[in-house]
Amino acid sequence: MTGPAPATARRSVREVRERVEAVPDPELPVIGLGDLGVVRSVAPAADGVLEVEITPTYLGCPAMPAITAAVRDVLAACGHPDGRVRQVLSPPWTTDRITPEGRRRLTAHGIAPPASLASSASSAPDGPVAVELGAVPCPRCGSRATRPHSPFGPSRCQSVLWCTACREPFPHLTAL
Amino acid sequence: MTTTSDAPARTAAGTPPAPDGADLAVHLLRLGDDALVLGQRLCQWITRAPTIEEDLALSNIALDLIGHARVLLTRAGRLDGTGRTEDDLAFTRSEREFTNALLTELHNGDFAVTVARQLAYTHYAVLYYEALAGCADAELAAFGARAAKEVAFHRLHADRWTLRLGRGTPESARRMRQGLERVWPYTGELFDEDDVVRRLAASGAVPSPAPLRPEWERRVTEVVTRAGLTVPAGSWRARGGRDGLHTEEFGLLVAELQSVHRRFPGGTW
């Protein structure tokens, strides 16, 4: 160790990326932006300025301004005060971008993680009412005796399910 | 594809706005106004919906629609050469400058009217955004792909309620029937094609909604039939929103939408 670095020391791209990914999501603070799959890239742009690309979960996600501000703060604290945050829509975010660690953290905090879209592709496409086929296990007791309660929940990305074993509702990150 | 098919993609870069972006600006403003106005209407259900779950559903749907409007209005403002931002477009235009389809501004009515309006709009929006996802403009295609998935979720909500009300009690079925009759004359405007849309479609820039109508009719008829109801007949149809001619109830909606901005111009928090 050579003593504490000054606050404005320019951190490497890898270090910046780690810090950006560790920023907690404003609506789901148990999970970082990296594990949520919102950080697309951290790299110098053509003009040499460090640029962070983020993807909104939903187009109307009200957390985007807060996320953008938090990432800017990280860039400034890492010695990149001129760093840019850019929103990219393509390819669109899906819940399959949530990392295994992210899914583990969600479950640990009582939020059932989304079913994998890749593995649920066999669901009937035009079934009358099914949002997601296959029981979502209860994040508290693990029971699969759960049923949908409300397709819309406390935030846009969450629905509400009911565990018949716990007799309690629980939030579920809707697969999309 | 014609030889001009790459022109819209070139203007898509946006800076500086090329003159041939004008048509696209008009079209995107219409789509954005549809989403903005319907989102604003749905917000009027907040604290008034039949259940807390329904309050959350309608407000979350509204939030998505306003998210769609933000993308579309931002892009329209960049293309039309005026440099207006999404906020300028939403909060400083007068009633006559809004180009949403009349369907989206109709008064909420009772819950069944709102469900009928959602049924008509969401089935249209899924089809149109899916078509948009295939357009040459990468930014619009990405938006279309994402928005299509979001409105598909709203469509599910509308389908379920149509079935539930149609097959519920005689009273709920009566209300649902009345809801469909109230909104149906306004559905045709969603598929209208004028010179702007024709030019855009011919150049391959964006798809026209007109060819989607038979599939839309097939899909909504299927849901309405399953609900034990019939799609309203009748040839009277309303139009005018695309030209800025609105219903009487639209003025109040715009006044409410813009009230904070008018009181605190340029205010941020």
Residue boundaries of the structural domains of chain A: 13-87, 100-123+132-173
Confidence of residue B207 (pLDDT cuts 50, 70, 90): very high
Min Cα distance B197 → chain A (Å) is 25
Give the DSSP per-residue string, B112-141: HHHHHHHHHHHHHHHHHHHHHTTSS-HHHH
Q: Which domain holds residue B194?
A: 14-263
Distance between CA B241 and CA A110 in Å, rounded? 47
* Contact of B178 with B232, CB cutoff 8 Å: no
Which residue from A154, A160, A176 is facing B149, i.e. has the nearest CB? A176
A84-87/A146-150 β-pairing: unpaired
> Residues A64-89: what's their mean pLDDT?
95
* Contact of A56 with A87, CB cutoff 8 Å: yes
What local confidence, expressed as pLDDT, does residue B8 receive? 38
Pairwise CB contact (< 8 Å): B160 & A129: yes
pLDDT over 60 (residue B12): no
Using one digit for the tens of pLDDT, what is the confidence trace for A96-106? 999 999 999 99
Question: pTM value?
Answer: 0.88
Residue B156: inside a domain, yes or no? yes
SS3 A173: strand
* Contact of B11 with B21, CB cutoff 8 Å: yes
Distance between CA A66 and CA A68 in Å, rounded? 5
Pairwise CB contact (< 8 Å): B64 & A91: no
Residue B107: inside a domain, yes or no? yes
Q: Which ipTM score applies to this complex?
A: 0.80
Give the DSSP per-residue string, A63-105: THHHHHHHHHHHHHHTT-TT-EEEE--SSPP-GGGS-HHHHHH
What local confidence, expressed as pLDDT, does residue A135 receive? 81
Residue B56: inside a domain, yes or no? yes
Pairwise CB contact (< 8 Å): B138 & A90: yes
Using one digit for the tens of pLDDT, what is the confidence trace for B89-140? 999 999 999 999 999 999 999 999 999 999 999 999 999 999 999 999 999 9
B57 touches chain A (CB under 8 A): yes
Residue B230: inside a domain, yes or no? yes
Distance between CA B32 and CA A85 in Å, rounded? 24
Which residue type does A81 have?
P
Residue B4: inside a domain, yes or no? no
Which residue from B66, B143, B226 is facing A89, i.e. has the nearest CB? B143
Min Cα distance A10 → chain B (Å) is 31
Residue B139: inside a domain, yes or no? yes
Residue positions counted in chain A: 176
> Residues B202-220: what's their mean pLDDT?
96
SS3 B50: coil
pLDDT over 50 (residue A125): no
Domains: count for chain B: 1
Residue B8: inside a domain, yes or no? no
Which residue from B53, B145, B150 is facing A58, i.e. has the nearest CB? B150
Residues of B in contact with A56 (CB under 8 A): 67
pLDDT over 70 (residue A1): no
Confidence of residue A55 (pLDDT cuts 50, 70, 90): very high
What local confidence, expressed as pLDDT, does residue B40 receive? 98
* Contact of B87 with B32, CB cutoff 8 Å: no
A156 touches chain B (CB under 8 A): yes
What CATH number is given to the structural domain containing B194?
A: 1.20.1260.10
End-to-end CA distance of chain A: 46
The number of CA neighbours under 13 Å toward the Cβ of B85 is 4
pLDDT over 50 (residue A123): no
Min Cα distance B67 → chain A (Å) is 3
Give the DSSP per-residue string, B14-26: -SSPPTTHHHHHH
Positive or negative torsion for Cα B207, B208, B210, B213: positive
> Residues A96-122: what's their mean pLDDT?
84
pLDDT over 90 (residue B146): yes
Confidence of residue B235 (pLDDT cuts 50, 70, 90): confident
pLDDT over 60 (residue A172): yes
Q: Please give the CATH architecture assigned to the domain spanning A13-87.
A: 2-Layer Sandwich (3.30)
The helix (run of H) or strand (run of E) holding residue A163 is: strand A158-163
What local confidence, expressed as pLDDT, does residue A4 receive? 55
Pairwise CB contact (< 8 Å): A60 & B153: no
What local confidence, expressed as pLDDT, does residue A7 receive? 54
Residue B269: inside a domain, yes or no? no
Which residue from B57, B145, B147 is facing A151, i.e. has the nearest CB? B57
A41 touches chain B (CB under 8 A): no
A129 touches chain B (CB under 8 A): yes
